[in-house]
């Protein structure tokens, strides 16, 4: 029997078309999911391929380079030269905000960790103080008088100048030079702090008529310590002429490192003085009443250190230590011993003179605020101020160099402050020095080693 289909051929074809359409619609619905799965699979395959290639390269390179790396690791790190350090720190010191207690130096692809003597909190405090001082220019140096470590080195220029003012010797020393004259008088001219001396006219001026030795009703008697405390130009002018002379002033200028380079990690300008032979010229130099004797703020801080360091002027230093990437010390500061500038007895008497300046002399107002605080009642506080105009009388140079030493004699500091004032008289240098001393001893523990 021959089988015959029960449906006509057209109907079968129609059914086949419906099934094909249904399969196509099902595929279209599943297409997004399929594409997502395919894309994820492809990305995974590509990632695995690249990962395999990278691992193979790393394994190959490690086998090839490991001897070199091992050799470099065992190779000792070459420390930066003093030239490298000077160049680096000169740039850092120009911008006081960048000069801190810890700095990283990169050299030849290696890192070197430099520890400085800078007290970071004090550095930032002084910078903020100078910015608020309304001075045209200002510079502050804080130094340890016993070992020469530089605790702070800050300069500020309202005009945005890039010079490091602390290291420049472009400023008239003014009455700061009386420290040198006083040391010479105490040590070589048989003048004691309580010796009676005489002068004519105002103590703030210096005329030839004031330098006569004749005593009359216009002559005023004073003691040497009071003349120093009140910065008496006439008394110191006469000492320069009649008690010291040219040779003694030259000799003691040399002892206090005028006209001589001072060893330091940064380029420090030489402080200058020219001692003439004529009487009035000697009087001008001895009293500081001239605009030709020049000093740097760093050198000014060192002058005060002589009074509290038994007559020795320490060599200043900034870099405490340098370590390589393995934390190995490759440089450690070892401050050289300085020869005595004056003998210990002269230093003791010079200290008395500077203490008088802070008690009842030209800085009494500022330092009285310290003495009223319990912390400073037994401190040794001393200072010497100086004020003079520039040659064109456009700017006023305002100086102070001071010391503050705790009762046990350790942990003391010396501070020098220079303020350059224009039409507006900004914060006085003595006020800034007082604030700096107050802040330092309120934040540092002087009983702990530095």
Mean pLDDT of 156-172: 90
Give dist(CA 64, CA 387) in Å, integer: 70
Q: Quick check: 362 pLDDT over 80?
A: yes
Confidence of residue 47 (pLDDT cuts 50, 70, 90): low
pLDDT, residue 143, reads 97
pLDDT band at residue 1 using 50, 70 and 90 as cut-offs:
very low
Mean pLDDT of 144-163: 91
Its sign, for the CA torsion 395, 421, 226, 273, is negative
| Percentage helix, strand, coil for the chain under 3-state DSSP, each rounded to 5 | 45, 20, 35
Query: Rounded mean pLDDT of 180-187?
Result: 98
Give the per-residue pLDDT at 444: 81
Residue 439 sits at φ, ψ, to 5 deg, of: -65, -45
When pLDDT is averaged across residues 236-244 and rounded to a whole number, the result is 98
Residue ranges per domain, the chain? 116-443
Predicted local distance difference test score (pLDDT) of residue 48: 65
Tokens of residue 311, six digits: 């007559």
Contact 227, 197 (CB under 8 A): yes
pLDDT (tens digit per residue) in 255-270: 999 999 999 988 899 9
181-207 burial: b if 16+ Cβ within 10 Å, else e: bbbbbbbeeebebeeebebbbebeebe
Strand partners, 141: 153, 416
Q: Is the pLDDT of residue 23 over 50?
A: yes
- Give the pLDDT of residue 67: 33
Please answer whether residues 414 and 301 qualify as being in contact, where contact means their C-beta atoms are separated by less than 8 angstroms. Answer: yes
Contact 191, 198 (CB under 8 A): no
Residue 102, pLDDT score:
83
CATH 3.40.50.300 fits 116-443, yes or no: no
Task: Give the residue-averaged pLDDT of 167-193.
Answer: 97
Cβ burial of 426 (10 Å; 0-12, 13-18, 19+) is buried
CB 385 within 8 A of CB 175: yes
Of residues 66 and 230, more confidently modeled: 230
Residue 402's closest CA among 328, 301, 309? 301
CB of 394 within 8 A of CB of 415?
Answer: no
Scanning the structure block, which residue is given the tokens 């009359």? 216
Higher pLDDT, 23 or 76: 23
The pLDDT value given to residue 4: 47
Mean pLDDT of 31-42: 70
Q: Is residue 13 packed enough to be buried (19+ CB in 10 Å), middle (13-18) or exposed (0-12)?
A: exposed
**What pLDDT does 448 receive?**
47
Which pLDDT does position 240 carry in this prediction?
98
Q: Give the number of other CB atoms < 10 A from CB of residue 442.
A: 9
CA pair distance 77, 325, nearest whole angstrom: 8
Identify the H or E element spanning 385.
strand 380-389
Helix (H) or strand (E) holding 349: helix 344-360
CB 243 within 8 A of CB 189: yes
Mean pLDDT of the chain: 86
pLDDT exceeds cutoff 90 at 91? no
Locate the DSSP E strands across 129-284.
Answer: 137-143, 150-157, 171-172, 196-200, 219-223
Q: How far is CA 138 from CA 23, 156, 173, in A?
A: 89, 5, 14
């Amino acid at each position: 029997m021959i089988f015959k289909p029960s449906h006509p051929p057209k109907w079968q074809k129609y059914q086949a078309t419906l099934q094909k359409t249904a399969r196509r619609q099902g595929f279209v619905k599943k297409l997004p999911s399929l594409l997502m799965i395919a894309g994820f699979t492809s990305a995974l395959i590509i990632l695995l391929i690249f990962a395999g290639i990278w691992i193979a390269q790393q394994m190959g390179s490690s086998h090839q380079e490991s001897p070199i790396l091992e050799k470099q690791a065992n190779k000792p790190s070459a420390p930066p030269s003093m030239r490298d350090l000077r160049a680096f720190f000169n740039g850092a010191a120009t911008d006081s905000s960048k000069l801190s207690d810890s700095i990283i130096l990169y050299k030849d692809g290696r890192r070197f960790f430099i520890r400085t003597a800078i007290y970071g909190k004090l550095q930032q405090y002084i910078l903020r103080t100078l910015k608020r001082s309304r001075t045209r220019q200002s510079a502050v140096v804080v130094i340890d008088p016993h070992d020469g470590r530089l605790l702070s080195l800050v300069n500020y220029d309202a005009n945005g100048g890039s010079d490091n003012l602390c290291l420049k010797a472009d400023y008239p020393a003014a009455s700061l030079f009386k420290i040198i004259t006083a040391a010479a008088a105490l040590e070589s001219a048989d003048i004691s702090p309580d010796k009676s001396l005489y002068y004519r006219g105002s103590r703030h001026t210096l005329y030839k008529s004031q330098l006569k030795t004749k005593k009359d009703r216009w002559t005023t008697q004073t003691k040497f310590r009071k003349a120093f405390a009140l910065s008496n130009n006439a008394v110191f002018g006469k000492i320069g002429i009649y008690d010291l002379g040219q040779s003694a002033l030259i000799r003691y200028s040399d002892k206090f490192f005028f006209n001589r380079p001072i060893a330091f990690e940064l380029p420090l300008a030489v402080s200058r003085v020219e001692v003439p032979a004529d009487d009035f010229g000697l009087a001008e130099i001895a009293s500081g009443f001239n605009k030709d004797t020049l000093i740097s703020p760093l050198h000014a801080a060192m002058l005060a250190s002589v009074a509290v360091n038994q007559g020795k002027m320490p060599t200043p230093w900034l870099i405490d230590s340098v370590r390589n990437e393995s934390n190995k010390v490759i440089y450690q500061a070892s401050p050289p011993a300085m020869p005595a500038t004056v003998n210990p007895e002269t230093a003791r008497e010079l200290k008395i003179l500077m203490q008088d300046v802070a008690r009842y002399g030209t800085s009494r107002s500022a330092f009285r605020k310290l003495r009223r605080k319990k912390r400073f009642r037994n401190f040794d506080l001393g200072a010497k101020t100086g004020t003079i105009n520039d040659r064109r009388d456009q700017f006023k140079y305002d100086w102070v160099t001071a010391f503050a030493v705790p009762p046990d004699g350790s942990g003391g500091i010396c501070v020098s402050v220079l303020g350059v004032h224009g039409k507006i008289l900004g914060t006085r240098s003595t006020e800034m020095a007082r604030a700096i001393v107050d802040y330092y001893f309120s934040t540092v523990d002087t009983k702990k080693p530095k």
